[in-house]
Amino acid sequence: MKKVAFHNLGCKVNAYEMELMQQNFTKNGFEIVPFSEKADIYIINTCTVTNIADRKSRQMLHRAKALNPDALVVAAGCYVETDREGAAADEAIDLIVGNKEKPDIVKIVSNALCETFPVSYQLEQLTDHTRAYIKIQDGCDQYCSYCIIPFARGHVESRDEDETIREITDLAESGCREFVITGIHLSSYGLDRSYNMAAKDGSFNNTALTGIIKKISGIKGVERIRLGSLEPRIITEDFLMEMASLKEFCQHFHLSLQSGSDTVLKRMNRRYDAAEYYDKVRLIRRFFEHPAITTDIITGFPGETEEEFRETREFLKKVDFYETHVFAYSRRRGTAADKMPGQHTQKTKTERSRILIDDSLERAKKFREYYINRETEVLIEEYIRIGAKNYGVGYNREYVRFAFESPDNAGRAGENDACCRGFEKEDLTGRILTGTGTVMLDDETVLIDKYALL
């Protein structure tokens, strides 16, 4: 039995695609082993969103070859899409697999090994049995001036709806409870289909996305639906009204911002301004009591002045995000921003990033503390040991991490023992409980008590 090891870099779409690749190799008799072990085949699912991602991809490819010089080292994904010549010249890489070739990777590898295997094109089981990432869309036609991804992933391509429904139905039957609907540019789902061409006017009033979410909510066993990153322009009263009507929908909105300065947004080729973005945030808060609103920010974009940076920092405070993912601008060859004047030093980009990260940590702490003395629902995902005690850990609908003290802790006699008596650890994983937040267990985790299983 040949051993295959995987390493994933990058986004949720990459994570989904790696799960699918692992499944197909397992079904065909390969043994999946940790990346640190000696394997016959190493598959690195690469990323190219930043220069750092390129470097990490190359590092992992070279690490694989060092672990076993005789192994077949496979470079898959975005990095090789944007620099095939460089990948082909890299002596650590034996096989290159592009994004659109990933579904056939078992065939491609088997050809290299002179063997033949069948393949499946949808997930049937998960390594994480509580949450599944479901890719329903690939590609992007936005061409933001800083972004290389449209060149790595190609044009918008929506997945067949019936195929998606079958996949989620099978996963729900196997015990998966939460589904994260994702894509390279999720808001463009369905825009490549002739019946939905009218939505390409920039409004993103996308009935196709709303429609598939509603169908997913009707699948037996689906208890939570969470959405990946969205464009602000898809947020309309009609969209929010539809989402609010679904009991499975998680009120967690990741709205891509990138900058709070209108002049920077224009140079980035983002198709909204700060005022429009803020209107969308206010609209979300009209429909949901305490929604989690998260975003991405790029610091040190070419030509970003101190005043533009200040505008961004003030706008982030005004919106009051739950979490802000901060990235220093990464110069990508082939993008419009690469040729712009005013390229900043790494020192400036790092300093600005640090300021925004510190601000974000304070806001995130406040958002989590909201749940102290409030009841919430938590989907249990795993058990961890902290100090001398075991804790069950999971997330609520707003993606706040919670922990409860496990009833199997030696010598513990508490009011929660009765509600969980008779359950083994694996029985609680994938179950939803209600509990009241008490204190912060650590910077990112709220401790809950007085809990009961639903």
Instruction: With beta carbons less than 8 A apart as the criterion, state whether 383 and 436 touch.
Output: no
In 122-159, which positions are buried (b, 16+ CB within 10 angstroms) versus exposed (e)? bbebbeebbbbbbbbbbbbebebbbbbbbbbbbebebb
Q: For residue 371, give the 3-state DSSP assignment.
A: coil
Q: What's this model's pTM, rounded to 2 decimal places?
A: 0.82
Put the strands of the sheet holding 224-227 in their side by side order. 157-158, 131-138, 178-183, 224-227
User: In tens digits, what is the pLDDT along the chain, a chain of 454 residues?
Assistant: 789 999 999 888 999 899 989 988 988 889 999 999 999 999 999 999 888 999 999 999 999 999 999 999 999 999 989 888 888 889 899 999 999 889 889 888 887 776 544 444 565 555 556 888 999 999 999 999 999 999 889 999 999 999 999 999 999 998 899 999 999 999 999 988 755 554 444 556 578 899 999 999 999 999 999 999 999 999 999 999 999 999 999 999 999 999 999 999 999 999 999 999 999 999 999 999 999 999 999 999 999 999 999 999 999 999 999 999 999 999 998 999 999 999 999 999 999 999 999 999 999 999 999 999 999 999 998 888 877 888 989 999 999 999 998 766 544 434 444 344 444 444 678 889 999 999 999 899 999 987 788 7
Q: Are strands 432-442 and 445-453 parallel, antiparallel or unpaired?
A: antiparallel
Give the DSSP H/E element, type plus range, for residue 113.
helix 105-113
**Exposed, middle or buried: residue 434 (CB in 10 Å: 0-12, 13-18, 19+)?**
middle
Quote the longest CA-to-CA distance of the chain.
66
The per-residue pLDDT for 419 is 42
State the pLDDT at residue 388. 80
Return the domain boundaries, the chain. 3-113, 131-369, 375-453
Is residue 179 packed enough to be buried (19+ CB in 10 Å), middle (13-18) or exposed (0-12)?
buried
Q: What is the CATH number of domain 131-369?
A: 3.80.30.20
Give the pLDDT confidence score for residue 200 in this predicted structure: 46
CA–CA separation, 258 and 142 (whole Å): 14
Length of the chain: 454
The pLDDT value recorded for residue 204 is 60
The pLDDT of residue 422 is 40
Q: Do domains 3-113 and 131-369 have the same CATH topology?
A: no
Angle at 182 between CA 179 and CA 183, to 5 degrees: 160
> What secondary structure does DSSP assign to 8-47, as a single string?
E-S-HHHHHHHHHHHHHHHHTTPEEE-TTS--SEEEEEE-
Listed as own residue / partner, the contacts of 281-286 with beta carbons closer than 8 Å and 24 or more positions apart are 281/255, 281/319, 283/235, 283/236, 283/237, 283/240, 284/235, 284/240, 284/253, 286/240
Structure tokens of 368? 């989590």
Architecture of domain 3-113: 3-Layer(aba) Sandwich (3.40)
Using only the alpha carbons of the chain, give its radius of gyration: 23
Fold of 375-453: OB fold (Dihydrolipoamide Acetyltransferase, E2P) (2.40.50)
Torsion region of 269: left, alpha or beta (phi above 0 gives left; psi -120 to 50 gives alpha)? left
Q: What are phi and psi of 371, to 5 degrees?
A: -85, 0
